[in-house]
Each structure stands twice: as C-alpha cells, then as structure tokens.
Amino acid sequence: MESTVSIHHGPYESIPATASPGLKFLRRFLPALDSLTPAETPISPFFTPSAPILIGSDPPISASQAVPLLGVRSRHICKFHHHVYLAWDIDLESDTGLVHTSYNRTAPDQEAAQKGQLYAPLAGNIRMKRTVMFEATSETTFKEDPDQFAVRVRGFNVLDLEGRDESDLQIVEMRIFLDQRPVQAHSASLFTGSGYSGS
C-alpha cells in the first residue's frame, strides 16, 4: 500500500488547523525548538527521553541529554528561528517495504522483514507512525554581536514520530543535515577562545 504524503509550502506559522497530524505537530514543535525561554515553552514533551538526535555525521545524542543544552542558548543568543520553506508529512502506519533506521523500537524483526513490512507491529498502544521532513533556514543572532548580524544556515530535518493518536505524537528520532561552520565561525569571532556553538 502506498503512503499518504501531505505537503506544506511556506512558514510553519501558516500551517492550517486542517493540516495533517504531522504538519500540525511541526507547527507546535518549532516554536518550542526556537524558543529561548524553555521554562515558558518546554520542548521535552515533544521527545521520547531516549530519542536519538543526529546532526550530520556527529555521534548521536539522546533527547534527555540535548534538551538541557538548549536551555543555555539564551545566555549568548538573542534570536533563533527556523524559516521553513517546504514540509512533508508521510503517514507510515500502513506502509510496506524495507528501510534502514537507527531506531529499533518498531523496526522490523526478521519475520516482519521477510514479509516486506516497513515496521514490526506498533508497540503497545502505538497506533500512529509518521515521518515529517522540512527544509528551512535557521537564523541565529548573538547578544554580544554589536552589529546584530543574523547567521543564516540552510538545513534539512527529519522527524520520526510515534504515538497512540494525534495528540500523543512524540519524536522517536531526529536527524539534522546542515553546515554548522558559519555559526561556529561567527561564535569564535565573538568569543575568542570559547568552544561555544550556537547550533
């Protein structure tokens, strides 16, 4: 059976209330990811604690390790925002075919793989599985920059989601593809000798 794909063009703020579950998740998630006040806009509810976050070819870090690091961004950054151009929401609940994934909670076992199933039967009460992808430019502005120069980096992001229903969806794996060097270089020019990165 073919997967159902929903596509949104434009900023995440313009995703309508009638959009697909994954796109509506994205509209809720990105304000939390961009927020510099995590106490007011917590991001941890969007992830399962052990969800791996992979940035380029760097070793994965779990969500439980990454979320606290996001809380310190406000020490050095005064603005961070994702300008989304295009987003896709793929419904994988009834898809078939083989796929390689680093996340094994519902990855196919040998029997399921022989049957050509994309995933083994969803664990527990999980009834919904989706992959959301979006292309965006992240904009980072440092407090210490007298010119308030916005460092812009184009990137591509993949979110694997699972949940009992639409309101229960959480990220079980996040993959980020971008060049961190522009942010790192600008940070280094402002904080000589600092290892701080605003990525």
Cα 129 off chain centre by: 15
Residue 109's φ and ψ, nearest 5 degrees, are -80, 180
Closest by CA to 120, choosing from 139, 132, 107, is: 107
**Two structure tokens written together for 114:** 């022989």
Percent of the chain surpassing pLDDT 90: 57
Task: Please tell me the distance from the alpha carbon of residue 104 to that of residue 183, in angstroms, as a whole number.
Answer: 33
Question: Sorting pLDDT into bands at 50, 70 and 90, what band is 68?
Answer: confident
Q: Name all domains of the chain by residue range, CATH numbers in brackets.
A: 4-93+125-194 (3.10.450.50)
What 8-state DSSP symbol labels residue 123?
A: P
pLDDT of amino acid 74? 87
Better-scored residue on pLDDT, 56 or 84: 84
Q: Residues 12-22: pLDDT tens digits?
A: 999 999 999 99
Q: Residues 117-172: pLDDT tens digits?
A: 433 444 556 678 999 999 999 999 999 999 999 999 999 999 999 998 888 899 99
Cα 2 off chain centre by: 24
What 8-state DSSP symbol labels residue 44?
A: G
Sheet holding 61-62, edge to edge: 4-9, 77-91, 128-142, 150-163, 170-178, 52-55, 61-62
Task: Please tell me the distance from the alpha carbon of residue 93 to that of residue 111, in angstroms, as a whole number.
Answer: 18
Closest by CA to 33, choosing from 130, 131, 171, is: 171
Is-above-0.85 flag for pTM? no
